[in-house]
Amino acid sequence: MQKLKKQEAISQGKMLPLMEDFYTIQGEGFHTGKAAYFIRIGGCDVGCHWCDVKESWNANLHPLTATDVIVLKAKELSKTVVITGGEPLIWNMDYLTKSLRDYDIKTHIETSGAYPLSGVWNWICLSPKKTKLPLEPIYAVADELKIIVSNKHDFKFAEEQATKVSANCELYLQPEWSKRAELNNVIIDYVMQHPQWKISLQTHKFLNIP
What angle is formed at CA 124 by the lines to CA 55 and CA 143, rounded to 5 degrees? 140
Q: Which pTM was predicted?
A: 0.96
Whether the ω angle into residue 85 lies within 30 degrees of 0, i.e. cis, is no
- Angle (CA) 138 99 54, round 5°: 55
Give residue-wise pLDDT tens across range 110-148.
999 999 999 999 999 999 999 999 999 999 999 999 999
Q: What is the pLDDT of residue 1?
A: 47
Domains of the chain: 15-206 (3.20.20.70)
Residues 17-67: pLDDT tens digits?
A: 999 999 999 999 999 999 999 999 999 999 888 788 889 999 999 999 999
Gyration radius (Cα) of the chain, Å: 17
How far is residue 146's CA from residue 111's CA, in Å, rounded to a whole number? 10
Q: How is 57-91 classified by DSSP, letter by letter?
A: S-GGGS-EEEHHHHHHHHHTT-SEEEEESS-GGGS
How far, in Å, CA of 20 to CA of 197, rounded?
31
